[in-house]
Amino acid sequence: MPTMKDLVAKHTNLGQADLEWLQLLTGDWQLLSDLSFADLVLWVPRKDDGGWVAVAHCRPSTGVTVYYDDVVGTTVEAGRRPLLDRAYEQLRICRERGTDYQEDVTVREETVPVLRAGRPIAVLARHTNLSAARTPSRLELTYLQCADELTRMICEGEFPAPGAPSGPRRGAPRVGDGLIRMDKDGKVTYASPNAVSALHRLGHFGEVVDHSLSEIVTSLLDQPGLVDESLPLVLMGRAPWRSHIENHGATLSMRAVPLKTAGERTGALLLVREISELRRREQELLTKDATIREVHHRVKNNLQTVAALLRLQARRIKSPEGRGALQEAMRRVSTIALVHETLSEGFGEKVDFDDVVGRTLSLAVELAAPSTSVKIRREGRFGELRAENATPLALVLTELVTNAVEHGFRERGGTVTLIVERNGADLRVTIRDDGTGLPEEFRAGQSGLGTQIVQALVSGEMRGRISWAPAPEGGTDVIVEVTLRKATASVSRDEMPEG
């Protein structure tokens, strides 16, 4: 399915600024759809024949939808949709005098010109399903009145507001969570039942309508603590911002949408959502993140202690074979410690493996060839890897680069190149050196401890395969192909409220 950006680029002459305005509108039009109890379809004029193409579609969460099938990508020839043409040409909201039938559903259609910088760039069609019509309640009448205010602002280029919080951001209040309508002085003219309940959670049990919301909330703040400096502007409806307020163990998220006529503010909508449970879950996650980072930090310290002890022991051993074995063990422990150090510095269980591999390979080359000039090059990027992928892969690459330096270069210098190819979970790494090639004992099937460790990690731990072959221009190619493990199911941070 093509995106709105693709459709706009293919079918229209709209510029980047126009596209960004349409993206800003569709990022916030769920508010209008819910208030209207209607489907919204965004149409843009086609550059070739003057017809129309639908580039976005939104369904209401408060009412019955009209289109069960997605209409994005649908095209209409010029003259086939007179309401679209009239709204675009006359720069006014156009409504059908009668009703239409779509998929055996009675529908009322309305078209709204979308203006940016005083000129039309698209048309917003609002389709209301009338099959479930009934006597509207005060809540529904208020919703529809607010929707009419927003459509008029779209026609005047006043909505959406640049920089306003929109879309499904974590903890964002929605129409169904609670709606408060205020006049230009901040006095409440209507509060939905859910909005009243949210204020009850905050500690207010009196009347809400005909009272200043700012005075109501201010009277509740009897507990010391930090208050968001944007809260007064939000409570008065003066700015299209979001704010949070905490009191008596309850947390409310509030978003103000100023209503304007001819550029003058006439009132505001305030969306209210009680996010106490989301806030509690966020705090639990932050605590768990801090605990996990502390565990990684302590593991790193312990591993570095072990590496230091191995280094001290290696200095006391007279046998070159024993000293070399301890140094290899120290290098492997240090590699694992580096992964845990990186994990302890950030949030989550992912590491920037390009940074990790650069540091581990530099350490490996320094230990393997302290007096030989060896260069490490890398083509491509690993990206972020989870800990269960990063640790064995770091060990594998360290062992392979160490083998290339020790057995491929001997006493002369050289270059080791890592060629990285990643496609989602599939990772292919080629370790190429320009050394002397595979040793005779390796060709005869005699492999050392390092090679055995690598084969065990790749085939067992990483469910992949490894192969050795002569490089095209001399030296050796070692090809490692693995399938990265996917993240385990967890609570998404996008569901958490903003701090």
244 half-sphere exposure, CB direction, 13 A CA radius: 17
Peptide bond into 392 cis (omega under 30): no
Q: What is the pLDDT of residue 411?
A: 65
Percent of the chain with pLDDT over 70: 87
Average pLDDT, integer, range 417-431: 90
The arrangement of secondary structure in 280-483, i.e. its CATH architecture, is: 2-Layer Sandwich (3.30)
For residue 490, pLDDT over 50 is answered with: no
Average pLDDT, integer, range 1-28: 92
Q: β-strand 188-191 against 350-352: which pairing, if any?
A: unpaired
Q: How far apart are the first and last CA of the chain?
A: 35
CA distance 161 to 24: 8
In this structure, the dihedral spanned by the alpha carbons of residues 139, 143, 145 and 150, taken in order and rounded to 10 degrees, is: 160
For residue 322, pLDDT over 90 is answered with: no
- The beta strand positions in 59-155, using DSSP E, are 75-76, 94-95, 100-102, 105-116, 119-129
Percent of the chain with pLDDT over 90: 38
The most confident of the ranges 3-17, 305-319, 328-342 is 3-17
Q: What is the pLDDT of residue 298?
A: 80
Q: What is the pLDDT of residue 469?
A: 86
Closest CA to 294 of 340, 234, 248: 340
Average pLDDT, integer, range 432-453: 70
CA distance 149 to 410: 79
The most confident of the ranges 43-52, 308-317, 431-440, 472-481 is 43-52
- What is the DSSP-derived secondary structure letter of residue 60? -
Domains of the chain, by residue range, sit at: 4-155, 175-274, 280-483
State pLDDT tens for residues 112-159.
Answer: 999 998 899 999 999 998 886 667 899 999 999 999 999 999 999 999
The helix/strand count (H/E) of the chain reads as 14, 19
pLDDT-derived band of residue 223, with 50, 70 and 90 as boundaries?
low
pLDDT-derived band of residue 493, with 50, 70 and 90 as boundaries?
very low
Q: What is the pLDDT of residue 9?
A: 93
Please say whether the structural domain 4-155 has been given the CATH code 3.30.450.280: yes
Average pLDDT, integer, range 240-250: 86
State pLDDT tens for residues 164-203.
Answer: 776 556 668 999 999 999 999 999 999 999 999 999 998 8
Q: Residue 367 is encoded by which pair of tokens?
A: 């230990």
User: What is the average pLDDT score of the chain?
Assistant: 84
The most confident of the ranges 257-266, 368-377, 406-415 is 257-266
CATH superfamily of 175-274: PAS domain (3.30.450.20)
Question: Which residue's structure tokens are 């312990």?
Answer: 302
Q: What is the pLDDT of residue 337?
A: 79
User: Per residue, what are the HEC states of 325-389?
Assistant: HHHHHHHHHHHHHHHHHHHHCCCCCEEEHHHHHHHHHHHHHHHHCCCCCEEEEEECCCCEEEHHH
Better pLDDT: 358 or 486: 358
* Matching fold, domains 4-155 and 175-274: yes
Beta bridge partners of 123: 43, 113
Average pLDDT, integer, range 1-23: 92
For residue 494, pLDDT over 60 is answered with: no
Average pLDDT, integer, range 300-309: 81
Q: What is the pLDDT of residue 371?
A: 62
Q: What is the pLDDT of residue 442?
A: 61
